[in-house]
A and B are shown apart, each in its own frame.
Chain A
Amino acid sequence: MVQSLDRSQGRSGGIAAGTSDNPTFTGNRALQIEEPLIFEMGQPGRCGVDLPEPPKVKDRLNGLRRAGEIGLPGLSEPQVVQHYTRLSQKNYAIDMGVYPLGSCTMKHNPRINEKVARLSGIGDLHPLQPMSTVQGALELIDGLAHWLKALSGMPAVAMSPAAGAHGEMCGMMAIAAALEARGERARRKVVLAPESAHGTNPATAAALGFTVKPIPANERGRVDLDALKAALGPANGSEVAAIMLTNPNTCGLFETEIVEISRAVHEAGAFFYCDGANFNAIVGRVRPGDLGVDCMHINLHKTFSTPHGGGGPGAGPVVLSAALAPYAPYPWIVKDGERWRVAEDGAAVDGKPLGRLKAFHGQMGMFTRALAYIMSHGADGLKQAAEDAVLSANYVMASLQDIMTPAFEGPCMHEALFDDSFLKDTGVSTLDFAKAMIDEGYHPMTMYFPLVVHGAMLIEPTESQAKEDLDLFIAALRSLAERAKSGTAAEEFKAAPRFAPRRRLDETLAARKPVLRWRPSNNPPEGDPMKQAAD
């Protein structure tokens, strides 16, 4: 108790936990500890490191020594450990259970990958060391590149993009470069993308000066081939630079006419950009190169399980067809005889690099983890993982289709998409349904995406869940759906979540009066257990 009072900067106690039932003195709920900001915890004279006294030297700072306090709080090491441990306990994570966030591929993150990324001969290397001293690192990158090329059936890969969206930028720049080389860049100003596309697709195309035109879906949730052909126009006068297509698409469906689509795109002189966010559904069973793809980013944090880390870091290598390979950005990893070398800006390579997209050589830490994941699975395990992911999604779909409403007829690929028609007239929305899942101990599925399905709920169980865990998850969803349909539970759903570290948060307030940093003047709100007695 004393420790708790200390952390709250001397508040007088007797704080009720808002309007919740059964308030506690501290506001804590057993393992859920209310935690102040570091700026409310610091004390002058505390420090979490012991550094030696610096020798006195004459400043060589051009007279620009920083004056005044920076304002950083001082905490001891145990306080720091407790602070971040308590914060961690307010997060849901793959390590805790089913995390069915569609399109995000929350699969198991093996710990051997973390271990090998931290070997000093890999994790503790400077990117600009002489190349003779990093031969193993370059071989490692090439080793991953080899797998990515083989699995995608594509001849080249640009390794440096830092994330999926960055890979999209790389791929679309390569397409622009190829069009420029053909003298068609000025004419081909249109990029086609289905309405169900990830938001990054139109954002990337627009940033490169392309006009984005939506392609409608047919009633089966796939690209409408006739509409696509009409949009492409005649080959010699087509204004289309590329189509950006996710396959399997964001509805969790394989584009059945993918071969016809890529043929039509190529006949019109345009390129086929594949958003590889859903590559995990087909890896080892289908090679995008066999479908006529010209380039595709691969989210290593999805298909190859590098940890999502609360929103990054990611990595988005881009596999390229022979037509686009010459334009891959610097750096290139090149083998001269038995020696590896990084071809950096200005170096002669067998191509016309489009420039540079990132400092140094890419997300090495992610390359290491992804390669460890790939080697652990092997060709057999990767294929099995894709099959189990698809099997699990179809199992969820089949087990819920009588009580929830699948958006399209099956089978699906790695994710099961439902719309909200099963909630019609219940007073319960997709959001309410998702928040109620939190109380049952699950992270909600992706909500309201893709935009083409009303009240979308996109469930991606991945290959990492045991059948008995899927069965409990399915039973929980069935129970929620039944309660919602009873017509008497709307208030209960609106109040969810009740047992999470926080109840629903006021996002409108956050956007209307943005508070984006702590200042000495922003105190916790009246209802907060952290409200300081000093106020």
Chain B
Amino acid sequence: MRYLPLTPIDRRDMLATIGAKSVDELFRDVPASARLPGKISGLPDHLGELEVERAFQDFAAKNVSPSTAPFFIGAGAYRHHVPSTVDYMIQRGEFLTSYTPYQPEITQGTLQYLFEFQTQVSLLTGMEVANASMYDGSTGASEAVLMANRITRRNKALISGGLHPHYRAIIETTAHWQGYHAVAGKADPEGLEDPIAKVDKETSCVVVQNPSFFGHVRDFTKLAAACHAAGALLIVVVTEVVSLGLIKPAGEMGADIVVCEGQSIGNGLGFGGPYVGLFATRDKYVRQMPGRLVGETVDADGKRGFVLTLSTREQHIRREKATSNICTNAGLCALAFTVHLTLLGEAGFRRLAELNHAKASELADRVAAVPGVKLLNDSFFNEFTVRLPKPAAPVVEALAGRRILAGVPVSRLIPNDPAVDNLLLLAATETATEAGMAPLIAGLREVL
């Protein structure tokens, strides 16, 4: 077996050193009733690399990749061009095959890029401090609510009807099993919701999304003020981080915690994961933050270096009193993010955002010109909602039959709500082309 270096002679010699007759003797602590007599039956034996690769090519061949079809799907995961440099860098074994940087003297590479990552996230979100990443945006949003509950010592979270339905579901699930209240607003496809009136003295936080799940760009400055007046926190979720190149950041609107899905920068679609959660807050709340934090310090020679810090928040030190049970972050996805953002820089990131907005504007105008289609958004970044004259799910399915991947029917994420049956979410990034838009428009005209 190509991954196992020990030879039969090595094994024999090692057993002799140990003083055991066979490897079975080393497993003697396993109760006899639980010892399997041989290998597990019904499972195949090992394969060569060629056979493994073929098997996965067979899986791949049964899918329709966006690289081969007109593609306008977003809803929390966005298809962007990732420069080749990113993937080459993250595949360097020194990054790929290293562990959490517990020994800082020999993990300065990981620690420095995470420190740079934390700085980039702070800058993008307009916040003071960011952690070294979360599993993804969706789990980060749920952790943000828990953090707000700890800070305010309250247990009622208000959830905007503009929040991604999966994010809402995770917060509701956590609320149910961890014992707090999550009060969700109705789905808000028009972008008209105003949660200010619902904020009261029991509210720990309000969770909103910008741009919203339905694409609307909102100013939450007044909501932030209302939250603060009531002693609550404002949590702003961003599922399309590229929007921060063009839209006023939540930090400048008064947000207390900002959570972003960072997938768009550096990380491919990957059928939903792994992605990378960005998590930023105010300095005064840093000790209630979940997740790893990297800080600057000096070594015994006075040289600048970086370490994991403030770990007295974390489970391996605090155990049942930890701020979160989180151990792993998304280190390598954070590396992909930071390498891509470093390539983009100020000018590239802003231009990327402008391109996305321009492509989506063009798509919105063309889709809205299809008879029977109504654009619901006055504002959007690179994604918007349209109302079709018939249910959206079969329309999307019919277009898929023509190898057009035409957005997400809202009913897939918000089932059993007739009010959203005809709604379709469409996204266009810098990867959208005329060769993709033309068949989409033609397809819509035929199917509707």
Contacts and interface: CB of A to CB of B under 8 A. Distances in A.
A206 B150 CA distance: 14
A92 B90 CA distance: 15
Contact of A345 (B5, B31, B169): B169
A162 B133 CA distance: 13
B152 interface: no
Contacts of A118: 87
Contacts of B179: 209
B299 interface: yes
A378 B45 contact: yes
B161 interface: no
9 contacts: A80-B339, A91-B98, A127-B271, A207-B178, A358-B166, A378-B45, A385-B3, A411-B18, A514-B286
A85 interface: yes
B136 interface: yes
A271 B73 CA distance: 42
A394 B26 contact: yes
A204 B344 contact: no
A505 B396 CA distance: 56
A278 to B, nearest CB: 13
B419 interface: no
Interface in B23-42: 23, 25-31, 33-36, 39-40, 42
B46 A80 contact: no
B167 A411 contact: no
Contact of A135 (B45, B46, B63, B286): B63
B418 interface: no
Interface stretch (A58-66, A235-243, A417-425, A476-484): A58-66
Given A124-B269, A163-B328, A510-B307, 8 more contacts: A60-B217, A75-B342, A80-B342, A310-B98, A366-B273, A376-B46, A392-B14, A516-B286
Nearest to A383: B39
Given A66-B246, A75-B345, A313-B135, A467 B27 contact: no
Interface stretch (A226-234, A318-326, A494-502): A494-502
B279 interface: no
Given A54-B355, A312-B333, A357-B139, A509 B304 contact: no
Contacts of A301: 328
Interface residues on A, range: 35 or more
B118 interface: yes
Contacts of A168: 325
Interface string A192-206: 000000111011111
Report which residue of B114, B137, B173 has the largest number of chain A beta carbons within 10 angstroms of its beta carbon: B173
A350 B229 CA distance: 47
A37 B115 contact: yes
Contact of B53 (A57, A116, A200, A444): A116
Interface string B313-346: 0111111111011111111110100010111111
Contacts of A459: none
A209 B60 CA distance: 43
A25 interface: no
Contact of B1 (A147, A330, A384): A384
A377 interface: yes
Nearest to A509: B297
Contacts of B36: 284-287
Contact of B405 (A133, A162, A500): A133
Interface residues of B, number: 216
Contacts of B39: 284, 379-380, 383
B268 interface: yes
Nearest to B138: A359
B35 A286 contact: yes
Contact of B100 (A308, A355, A501, A507): A308
A290 B34 CA distance: 6
Contacts of A345: 165-166, 169, 413, 415
Nearest to B146: A207
B248 interface: yes
B139 A162 contact: yes
A507 B302 contact: no
Interface string B163-180: 011110110110011110
A125 B65 contact: yes
B297 A507 contact: yes
B248 to A, nearest CB: 5
Contacts of A58: 361
A309 interface: yes
A502 B299 contact: yes
A337 interface: no
Nearest to B296: A515
Nearest to B341: A72
Interface in A382-401: 383-385, 387-388, 390-392, 394-395, 397-399
B421 interface: no
B106 A501 contact: yes
Contacts of B202: none
Contacts of B332: 307, 309-310, 312-313
Nearest to A113: B52
B43 A147 contact: yes
A253 to B, nearest CB: 7
Given A313-B273, A346-B416, A199 B318 contact: yes
A285 to B, nearest CB: 6
4 closest A-B pairs by CB: A527-B302, A121-B60, A355-B173, A309-B332
B328 to A, nearest CB: 4
Interface string A78-113: 001101110111111111100101001010111010
